[in-house]
Structures are given as structure tokens and as C-alpha cells.
Structure 1
């Protein structure tokens, strides 16, 4: 028997099927979608696009597409965003076809190099021309990667904000707070890919799960839109008797939210809670009370959904946007001379002659 304080919904199922396509762009983006295309996200259509054909051959996902083969000869963009942009423009018609039928296109890219930085805005533009809403999830370089790469990432991020409907950022520098001196380079980038996968999983649940308190893509755009704002995201889950308290503690300690600082400075926040049918009103109140206290001046949009497959897990996704000039770390690095902006065709390789 269902107790009175349990949230029960007949919407414990998918919404009307959402045509969602995810594109990994460039080396980092392709590695990320390769990492994502498993488990719960296996039902999502992933496409990897890159100017480096060999990197595409190394992937296991079904749909891959070389960019600008006539221009780059399949050897990559050499870290030059203009080459990445030209390669994407050369194959814009093919990209547009791949976006066809999608209601939402998600672009995953690492900014600062050639293909991810230069091609992502082109893909965002052609996806919108094909009738899709466009969300970009971008990583930003480690400080040790140098000033040039930081500047290119800044320019690419600004252009993505102009072309995509919404942009979320994961600054790689924050990942350093999750590792120690013995963590290998491969492990470090796997952590980044895990965080990107968590973010995409949270967004996917938000967009596809029928909600008791519903949120949709328009709500997401309302939170993250703004050329002079930076948007961050974090996901956490907990299980057991004290999961409501534990999931908030994980969020508040997350380096992606700078230990709660991002929430303190946020102007708008989206919160999505997803749990099994045992989700209680008391748990929702507990989570939202802590988040409301952390961002008292923010406009908050909340959604809650029930998903039986989660069992006793409570999953919370937070997307927060603050003014771009409110990040002291970014301002400190900028004053030192380096600008940092925060925040799947057939398996056969198709070489286009342009």
C-alpha cells in the first residue's frame, strides 16, 4: 500500500519518444561519446565526427563521419580552429543530413584545439537549420595547456553561445580537485569523460522522463542562455535511508560547483530530481531547502520524476548560471595574461571529397 507521503505517478515511463542525437566533435568529443555510449545511454544515437580519420577507426560506436577529408587528408586540423571550421563547412550538407529528424541535437566537444573549437559552431548552425534544438556540452582546457589554447577555447565558447540554444561548460581545471599525485593522465581524462556522461545522463533524464513536476528544454534554455554568463552542471546520487541529505552534501562538495560557490553566485538554477516510486515529499523538501538556502537570490526551476528502474537511488542534476565576471579564479588567471572561460551514417568510414 502506498503511504500518504509518497509521490506516486502514472508517468513512470518515457515521455513521447524524443528524437535526440548526440555528436562528439574533435578528439576530445569523440573520446567522450565513446565513453558515454553504454548502459542507460545505449539507446541514444551517437555520432563521432573528426578531421582525424585514424581516431575514428579506433572507435567502437556505430556512426562516424570524417570532416573535410579533401582539405585535411584525414590527418586532423593541426590545432587550428580555422581549419576545423573550414572542414565542417566543406561537409555541412552531410552534417545537416545526419541532424535530420532530430528534435534535440547535443554537441559534445573539447574546446581549445582545432576540430572541436572550429567545427562545433558550424554543426550547431546546421543542426538548427535542420529544425533541431541544440545543446552544447563543452570542456575547457587545463591551465597547463597554455595561453594560446585558452584563448582559442574562449573564442570557441563565445561562438558556440551565439549558435547553440544552450551551452554547458566543464572546465578541466576543476577535475584536478578530484585526483591526487598518483593519478595517471589516462585516468584524469577518464574522470572528465565520466563527468560528461553523468551530465548527459542527467540532461537525458530531464528531457525524456515524464515528470510529476515537469521540466523541459525550454526550462533548460531559460537557465543557461546568455552570452555574458557561464553555466555549470553537476550530478550526484545517493541511496538508502539518508539519501536526501547525502545527495545534497555531494552536490555542495562538488568541484564542478566550486564547493557551493557557483550556487551562491547563481542568477538562475535548474534542479532535476529523479528517483523510484518511493520518492517522498519530505526528501524533495529536504533537497530543495538546502539548494534554496545556497542560492537565495537565484531564479530556481525544479523538476521531479519517478523512474522505477532506479530502485532506491535518488539522482539530482543541477544546472546553474552565474555572471561570467563573478568567477575569481577566471579573473585571476586573466590578469596573469591567460583568459579562461568556464562554466552517432553507417559504420563504414565515408570520405567526402567536398
Structure 2
């Protein structure tokens, strides 16, 4: 039996007795694109839903269950990149959201491309409604590309901070990692790949729970690992050959989805191992489990599923979701803004020398007085590498977003570098540098 339900200005059939306990909800443009991608894959065992303020995007989607958010407020024209409009639109459509979630649902996945209006503003509202209904709620979100600008990145950070308050677990995928993995993609290809990666992450974690394998991971297992766990990290990889077990788990734990995070300190792990024609052996399973234990450096609780998929051929595929990190790690894992890198440039070379990164001397005359001034920026664009280009304290990585540090536009103007050249330079530099807070006594004397 089906119920005819009106959501916003749209009408569709809601199959009351055929609904699944897991719903995957795409919110906004990026989240909806990811769900469209998953739906076309023909994944079974979940209900797909898209929620958007943009009526045109909803009409063009093949997903059957759609909610037009804020039909009266936005008149189907979108949120205009304003998260407040997205939030108000979700509140306007609260009854529709509750009706959709009220049909047999036990678990909700929310996919969002953070930084815009609808997804950033509406996702926390939808998550809160789900949590208030007692549903296990997991968010999988992407952060903007660097070229999308500071405003969009700031909105993404604020949206993630708010969303964390209303979900059991959250997985954050940094779109800037895509360039490292897939190279300098075209504009449309870049966003398409971002949607695909978001979809892959969501599919990976839903497949862990919904697929029927020789040894299953069921909803209760998922609840053990994901409920009230905060930041989660996940990775997935395939490998073949004599060392396929070691190669697969190593690649999975070095996946771009982990955003440079490690599973050190994880207390719980969902692990799915799927083999193709050649069945996984007991020794290979032991090798994978041992590696996870060694990387976690804790007595981690591993909940494992094992199965077969002939489409894998001679390969195996490993998917891992790790949770249960302490508060300090939670903060580190949820940090989405790229760490700032400062360096000297000369006319003839793009070499970055770590020695040129200098922390300014302390003012011993005012050592007890707090300093509230902005960091001092010194531009030096000549061939002398003995004087630091930039002097500032970056011991607090998260606070650097508000500091006036040198960026690619400034260098492009003063140095004559093209934007792409600068980005190529950035990609050649490690994303993380550790600066000591004090120079050594010998350096001070120099």
C-alpha cells in the first residue's frame, strides 16, 4: 500500500510497507548530486531522499523521494548561498521532513557539500529532527575547494560546527585532497569528482551495513560503533597480488578520505573485507586485523564483516570506519581548514627551504605583557634568502584563517607568478610543517 504525500509543492508515492530502515538524504546541491549518483548505481537496502530549495534541481533528479525546502520562502529559486535562508527553509518544511523520517526509519545518512546556502543551513535542522526522533544519524560532508574563497570556507566551518551538535558521527572529506589524488582537474570535472567521492564515502559505509555477506555487520553493530561517537574517519582500498591484504589495508589507512588523519587512539572500528574469485584466507584476515591494532595503538574493538563479490576478480577490497577518539583528537579530525605554509621565493627557483621559516624573537622587555597586535608581515621578493619573508607565530593552526598572512594573490601581484604556477608550487610542498616556538640559543645569537 502506498500513501500519496505532498512535500512542499511536489507530490509522490511513499511506499509505506516497502520503506527501508536506512535513509540516505542529500541536502542542497552537492549532497543531492551525491545521492543522484548513488541512486543510479542501483544500491539496494536504503531509501534515497533529496532535499533542496531549488525546484529545478529537484525536478531533474531521478530520485523518487524529494522534499522542496522552503517553497514559500524561496519560491523554488534556491537559497542564494545564504545558510540562514537554508535554515529557515528547513524549518518551514519541518512537517514534511518528520513525515519522511517517520516511515520505518532507524538510521539516517546525511550527505552535504558544505559552504553554500541550502546544505550548510538546512543539514543541521534535518539532523536535529532525526536525532529528536531517536534515529542513529551520521553526516558525510565535503568542504569547499580553496579557490571557492574565504567566505564559502568560513560558512563550511560554521556549518560543520553546528552540524556536529546534532549527529552521532560525522565524516569530513576535504575537496582540496582531490587535486593531490587526481591532478589538476577541469572546473566541471573537479566538482563532478567531489560529488563522486562524497557518493563513494556514503556508499562505502552503507554497504558495510546493508549488504548480506558470509559474516554480516548489522544495524546493532553499526550502532555500537557510530552512536554518539563524534568525528569518524574512513578509508577504502582495493589490492591484488601476493601481498594484497597488506597493500589493501595500508592504502585504506592512507586514503584521501582520511584527510591526513590517522586511526591512532580509535576505540571502535567497523571493518568490511570483500574478496573476489580468490577467497580471503584466515591468515590474510589476521594480517589486516593486526595492522589495524598496530596503527590504532589501543585495544581497539574491531567489528568485522567478510564477504565475496566476483566482480572484484583477484582483488580484495577493505573498507574501514574508525571512531571513539578522545576530545583532543576529535578537534583535530574535525579541523577542515588547510594549514598555512609560509616560505621564501627567489626569482630563479621554486625551492622551499625550511631554514627560512623563522619564528620572531621574543621581546624580553615585555615578556609578561600580552600582545594583541596582528602578526607582522614582511614582504621580501629579491634574491637574498638570508632574511625571512614572513615573520609570525603559527602555533595555533586554526587561528591562522583570520591572520593577514601572505596569499597567492599577493605573491602574484608582487612577484609576477601566475595563479596556476603558485598552486603547482603549493602541491609540491607538504601540507604540514612543524615550527618550533623558540629558536635555539645559537640562532638567537646570530
TM-score, L = length of structure 1: 0.79
Instruction: Write the mapping of 1:1-354 to structure 2, written as runs, cut at 5 A.
Output: 19-100=21-102, 101-181=104-184, 183-209=185-211, 215-217=217-219, 220=222, 223=225, 230-239=231-240, 241-258=242-259, 261-264=261-264, 266=266, 269-275=269-275, 278-297=279-298, 299-307=300-308, 312=313, 313-321=315-323, 323-326=329-332, 330=338, 332=340, 334-337=398-401
- Which of the pair is proportionally richer in helix? 1
Q: CA deviation at 1:21?
A: 1.2
2: CA distance, partners of 1:71 / 1:79: 14
Cα RMSD between the aligned structures? 2.9
1: CA distance, partners of 2:331 / 2:169: 19
2:376 aligned residue: none
The 1:294/1:40 distance shift into structure 2, 3 A limit, reads: farther
1:22-69 CA-partner distances (Å, limit 9, x unpaired): 111001111111111133515532111101111112222222221101
3-state SS of the aligned residue for 2:263? helix
3-state SS of the aligned residue for 2:280? coil
The 1:232/1:298 distance shift into structure 2, 3 A limit, reads: farther
Q: CA deviation at 1:256?
A: 2.3
Say whether the 8 Å CA contact 1:215–1:303 is kept in structure 2: yes
Which sections of structure 1, spanning at least 5 residues, go unmatched? 1-16, 340-354
3-state SS of the aligned residue for 1:273? strand
2: CA distance, partners of 1:223 / 1:172: 26
The 1:167/1:217 distance shift into structure 2, 3 A limit, reads: farther
The number of aligned residues is: 320
3-state SS of the aligned residue for 1:160? helix
Say whether the 8 Å CA contact 1:262–1:320 is kept in structure 2: no
2: CA distance, partners of 1:131 / 1:206: 22
The 1:338/1:244 distance shift into structure 2, 3 A limit, reads: farther
1: CA distance, partners of 2:287 / 2:239: 14
